[in-house]
Amino acid sequence: KQEVTQIPAALSVPEGENLVLNCSFTDSAIYNLQWFRQDPGKGLTSLLLIQSSQREQTSGRLNASLDKSSGRSTLYIAASQPGDSATYLCAVKASGSARQLTFGSGTQLTVLP
Amino acid sequence: NAGVMQNPRHLVRRRGQEARLRCSPVKGHSHVYWYRQLPEEGLKFMVYLQKENIIDESGMPKERFSAEFPKEGPSILRIQQVVRGDSAAYFCASSPDRVIQETQYFGPGTRLLVL
């Protein structure tokens, strides 16, 4: 059974800092890994999707890497801003016919002005 | 170009009542997924449906919960005889019927509070 763990559970940084969020998964047989952002009381916004054959994806100040063999992914946020404050969720889609995503519990990020 | 729509956004029920949650997928998407998020936790998969078929309900409690995705109309997640432990945010997601690697698009969720 796939398990996804995110460390740290919460993180508080001053504005402008670069930061790294970590995600690990127990079963390396995945189709893809996705990072989402969730604002309080809101839905999920997809940030980056990395296919199993890819090593990283970039979008603006965000960069996500994937090391499938070791079961790890990182989300790097450059020059953090208060508007980046949210919960960041990592999710993996298993190989095979299963289509559902398995989520981590998230990292709650606070960027202080 | 509407995304996934869910209603109601907030739902309050007393113990023993029924809760009906609705999800309209992105236009043209034929796959719907329901997830539940308990307070301070990540999302947990409940059920995966295609039009008129339940494909995988391995994450859904065996009793009191049911889901459907009829040929016409939204997908419905139904919870009978709700209990306080059902209080959570319920998210619906949809994806097209093209390739399995396609991302899922999430709705804003329905926050269910059971008194």
Say if the Cβ atoms of A42 and B109 lie within 8 Å: yes
pLDDT band at B13 (very low <50, low <70, confident <90, very high): very high
Q: For residue B88, which of B22, B25, B58, B43 has the smallest C-alpha distance?
A: B43
**Distance separating alpha carbons of residues A11 and A79, to the nearest angstrom:** 15
Q: What is the mean pLDDT of residues A81-88?
A: 96
Looking only at the bridges linking them, the beta strands covering B88-95 and B65-68 are unpaired
Kindly list the residues from chain B whose CB atom is less than 8 angstroms away from the CB atom of residue A44.
43, 91, 106
Q: What is the pLDDT of residue B40?
A: 76
Q: What is the pLDDT of residue B101?
A: 58
Q: Which residue has the tokens 């970039």?
A: A58
Instruction: Using a CB–CB cutoff of 8 Å, tell me whether A36 touches chain B.
Output: yes
Contact of A74 with A81, CB cutoff 8 Å: no
For residue B51, pLDDT over 90 is answered with no
Most confident of B8-22, B23-37, B44-58, B97-111: B8-22
Mean pLDDT of all residues belonging to chain A: 93
Q: pLDDT tens across A41-71, in order? A: 888 999 999 999 999 999 999 999 999 999 9
For residue B99, pLDDT over 70 is answered with no
Q: What is the pLDDT of residue A95?
A: 77
For residue B81, pLDDT over 90 is answered with yes
Q: What is the pLDDT of residue B52?
A: 87
Environment class of residue B39 by beta-carbon count within 10 Å: exposed (0-12), middle (13-18) or buried (19+)?
A: exposed
> One-letter amino acid identity for A17?
E
Q: What is the mean pLDDT of residues B78-101?
A: 88
| Interface probe with B: pick from A31, A32, A100, most Cβ of B within 10 Å | A100
Q: What is the mean pLDDT of residues B95-113?
A: 82
